[in-house]
Structure 1
Amino acid sequence: MERKYSVIVIGGGIVGLSIALTIQATGKAVLLLDKDEIGSGASFGNAGHIATEQVFPIADLSVLKSIPKMLLDPLGPLRLDWRYLLPLMPWLLKLVGNMRHKPFTHIHQALTTLNSAAFDAWLTFTQKWQLDDLVKIEGSLLVAENSATFDKLGQHSDYLNGIGVQNQLIGQAELLKREPALSSSQIGGIFYPHTGHVINLVELHEKLTQAFIQAGGAVLTQCEVTAIASTSNKDAVLTTTQGTFSGQKVVIAGGAFSKSLVKMVSRINVPLETERGYHLMLPQEYGRLKIPVSSMDRRFIMTPMSGGLRLAGTVEYAGLKRPANMQRARHLLPLAEPMLNEPLNSYQATQWMGFRPSTSDSLPVIDHKGPYIFAFGHQHLGLTQAAITAELVNCLIHEQPTPIDCSLFSIERFL
């Protein structure tokens, strides 16, 4: 096997895979490697929602008063493993600091800019790689089941329309017309037309991987990086469990595992934590919904897929090593059933837990320093921002102007 490449991409999730394919298509020789399998981890188990409407930081001051109640509920939308509190504390303090008005506004504006570009990037990416059978840009719903929540949705709708995030506030009649399977307990919601979903994440990764290999790309799985070194700005050497490789550029796109990789090449201590998320897949529930439906009251999402209905959500802070608490996945079923007009069939349901990579300011790192490109920390929006991140990284690799200002996502903001 040839050991020298133009570009080496570390991380085979949807972000790394999209980057590798986009660069390989320009004629560069690209190696894509992953410590597990391509498309595993959060890219396998996410909600499948291309959520361009989510333009706010992962936490704000309005949720602080609700946190004690959520933490006291062992199966609520938020859980903190108290044994992990000490290592989490530095990140948590930075997160709270970013709830202040000035940083919050900056983050909100940056996410709005990035997600606006993300929608157009997904349209282009879908067309280029012929993904219309897997990527459905048909919108999504955020619903409410009490009047106070619906009033908040009305204010939210007006605000988003004012900043260019197109949406439509709809009442119960229109909601049930769009999604007849919903119960009359759902009194209305917001329809977001410029969003979408992936109906089969495994097939998406397989199709993109096949296109990458057909274009001349190389893939290595079960390949863990143990060291990265560079002697100049022109190349870097990777030591891995499958040998040594050199690349003119190395892209770090390892998701929640990127922090240790960054430590190999930089003195910057990136405040990156994992927000553990869960899903429950119901294979008998094909066709129940047409588009993703999120509940503002219940804080989770239901996404229709070719393999059934996926219930996903919750946030758990417990690090990368604690065992999963699959009761949190199973609890999604009683959360979902009151929202629907018929009981759900949970026969042969499968459970999953994975790691979302979240920085303390909710923004990804997309930057270029010497031979290294950084592309990680997309929190809940890895799938949403994969295509635009690939476009931005491709511009950085080829030293071309980027379509949006990447200084917003500089790694040096953490100095």
Structure 2
Amino acid sequence: MGSQDQAVHDNADQADVIVVGAGVIGIVSALALSRRGLNVMVVDKQAPGMGASFGNAGHMATEQVFPIADASIIKRLPGMLMDPKGPLRLDWRYLPKALPWFIRLLSNLRPAPYQASVSGLRALNEASLDAWRRLLDTVDGAHLLKQDGSFMVYEQDNSLAALQALQACMATQGVPVESWSGNAIRDVAPQLSDAIRGGLFFPATGHVVDPLALVRHLVTAAKSAGVTFRQDDVVSGHVHAQGVTLEAAGAGRLHGRQVLVACGAHSAPLTARLTGIRVPLDTERGYHLMLPGEQSRLPLAVTSLERRFIMTPMTDGLRLAGTVEFAGLKRPPDMERAWQLHRLSQGLFKTPLDAAAATPWMGFRPSLPDSLPVIDSAQDGRVLLAFGHHHLGLTQAAVTAELVAELATSGATEAGTSRQPPSVRDRALPELAPYRLDRF
């Protein structure tokens, strides 16, 4: 170790693993790492859970095994540019920067890479709920997760063919799915409108009752396990013989034997600095509208096929979410997109939703063009990576944490393969090859 690195090592705050990112993936990973006997520090410029984890739809979306786009996006691209309030929006001012990402996305729609994405998503999703159950059982948090399934409903007769095609595709991928009549759906959710013709029921899904409460519960468990938290902005870092040194805006230098990059949509610059690989990470700007007066409107999450948004019941009300905007990290939010969700709900219920005291929100979902996250290690295991889960970050957080803990303590993936200890194989967790950093 050179004199400069020796000085860094002597003067820095230290940990076995520094987790950069205090969202749900970073927090759950920190807890898993601590339970492996590691000294863990979590660093984020925001308080835990105050990024995308605060505002997600709360849906455990294990049924969503298909990439974020299919071939139809080519026909939809003009509408994405022209309709500022559409469910999928591309800001024309962001188009020059987004174009390389969209070209890679289109390339991944070819049959072979598309099927690889489906296989990778399916593997994570199939393991997700079991991983969450294992985790929540250990922290007295089972009450935070409702495992009661979810609906996708349709209203127009001409939508039935599309719904049936989706059902067939999901069944082919082993997704548990059932076709329900409108009356059967209303037996479960009686406040839904008679306009609902029918829909699909996904029994192997669920929802959390409060995403922020979930994160805070996990933070408490992590602190009890010895994890420390620091609110600071990591601006750079470098790898050396003794580990990794990070430069933080407030604290100066932080040193760890390993670092986990888990800062969501903000992960690309630090990953490039530590590994030399520039990942094609962009962001889906997601919006929600929280209706505090509607705690009892729905018993479980309901998605509208035609209107393309989801409604999830939570402790503090009903959350409407699902609109996506590509406009980067810097432009201010367009909260009219959040309020549009309330307008989209009109006609789905026998009586209109109460929007009194409603609160809008926008956050950044980290998205890669093949719809798969990066879960890997680099630099001889000194750099761990867990980001790019797009709108499945909550769903896949617990299984990702289990994989990260194995990477940190049992060795990095090797060229072209992944080394999995017996504990991973016994749990039927995914192989790591589809999520490797070097696919870029």
- Using the size of structure 2 for normalisation, the TM-score is 0.91
The one-letter code of the counterpart of 1:239 is: E
Structure 1 distance, partners of 2:347, 2:403, is 42
1:12-68 Cα offsets, whole Å, 9 max, x none, are 000001100111122211001101111011100110111010000000003432333
- Do the aligned partners of residues 392 and 195 (structure 1) sit closer, same or farther apart at CA in structure 2, a change above 3 Å counting? same
Structure 2 distance, partners of 1:38, 1:214, is 15
My pick for the range that moved more, 273-282 or 198-207, is: 198-207
Q: Provide the secondary structure at the position in 2 that maps to 1:331.
A: helix
Structure 1 distance, partners of 2:138, 2:389, is 23
Alignment of 1:347-358 (within 5 A): 347-358=356-367
Asked if 2 retains the 8 angstrom alpha-carbon contact of 1:42 and 1:355, the reply is yes
TM superposition shift of 1:322: 0.2
Aligned to 1:247: 256
TM superposition shift of 1:406: 0.3
Determine whether 1:67 maps to 2:77. Answer: yes
Determine whether 1:206 maps to 2:232. Answer: no
The partner residue of 1:318 within 327, 330, 353 is 327
Aligned to 2:68: 58
The partner residue of 2:196 within 180, 186, 189 is 186
Q: Provide the secondary structure at the position in 2 that maps to 1:338.
A: coil
Aligned to 1:285: 294
Structure 2 distance, partners of 1:143, 1:24, is 42
Q: Provide the secondary structure at the position in 2 that maps to 1:133.
A: helix
Q: Provide the secondary structure at the position in 2 that maps to 1:355.
A: strand
Aligned to 2:438: 412
1:174-210 Cα offsets, whole Å, 9 max, x none, are 1111111110111111111111111111211111111
Alignment of 1:8-407 (within 5 A): 8-221=18-231, 223-232=232-241, 234-241=242-249, 242-369=251-378, 370=380, 371-399=382-410, 401=421, 402=424, 403-407=429-433
TM superposition shift of 1:350: 0.3
Structure 2 distance, partners of 1:225, 1:4, is 14
Structure 1 distance, partners of 2:133, 2:170, is 21
My pick for the range that moved more, 280-289 or 153-162, is: 153-162
The one-letter code of the counterpart of 1:384 is: T
The one-letter code of the counterpart of 2:217 is: K
The one-letter code of the counterpart of 2:187 is: K
The one-letter code of the counterpart of 2:385 is: F
- Do the aligned partners of residues 229 and 199 (structure 1) sit closer, same or farther apart at CA in structure 2, a change above 3 Å counting? same
The one-letter code of the counterpart of 2:437 is: I
Structure 2 distance, partners of 1:63, 1:336, is 24
The one-letter code of the counterpart of 1:380 is: H
Please, which runs of 5 or more residues in structure 2 have no aligned partner? 1-10, 411-419
The one-letter code of the counterpart of 1:181 is: Q
Asked if 1 retains the 8 angstrom alpha-carbon contact of 2:207 and 2:300, the reply is yes
The one-letter code of the counterpart of 1:240 is: A
TM superposition shift of 1:159: 3.0
Q: Provide the secondary structure at the position in 2 that maps to 1:294.
A: strand
Structure 2 distance, partners of 1:36, 1:381, is 21
**Could you tell me the percent identity over the aligned residues?**
45
My pick for the range that moved more, 148-157 or 291-300, is: 148-157
Structure 2 distance, partners of 1:2, 1:252, is 19
Structure 2 distance, partners of 1:71, 1:274, is 16
Asked if 2 retains the 8 angstrom alpha-carbon contact of 1:198 and 1:305, the reply is yes
Structure 2 distance, partners of 1:300, 1:262, is 32
TM superposition shift of 1:129: 1.8
CA RMSD of aligned residues (A): 1.4
Structure 2 distance, partners of 1:141, 1:303, is 11
1:247-266 Cα offsets, whole Å, 9 max, x none, are 11100001000011112112
TM superposition shift of 1:73: 2.2
Q: Provide the secondary structure at the position in 1 that maps to 2:42.
A: strand
Please, which runs of 5 or more residues in structure 1 have no aligned partner? none
Q: Provide the secondary structure at the position in 1 that maps to 2:114.
A: helix
Structure 2 distance, partners of 1:65, 1:384, is 30
Asked if 2 retains the 8 angstrom alpha-carbon contact of 1:56 and 1:108, the reply is yes
Asked if 2 retains the 8 angstrom alpha-carbon contact of 1:365 and 1:377, the reply is yes
Structure 1 distance, partners of 2:92, 2:80, is 14
The one-letter code of the counterpart of 1:378 is: H
TM superposition shift of 1:151: 2.4
Structure 2 distance, partners of 1:70, 1:173, is 35
TM superposition shift of 1:126: 2.0
TM superposition shift of 1:225: 0.8
Asked if 2 retains the 8 angstrom alpha-carbon contact of 1:71 and 1:78, the reply is no
Structure 2 distance, partners of 1:246, 1:2, is 6
TM superposition shift of 1:70: 4.3
- Using the size of structure 1 for normalisation, the TM-score is 0.97
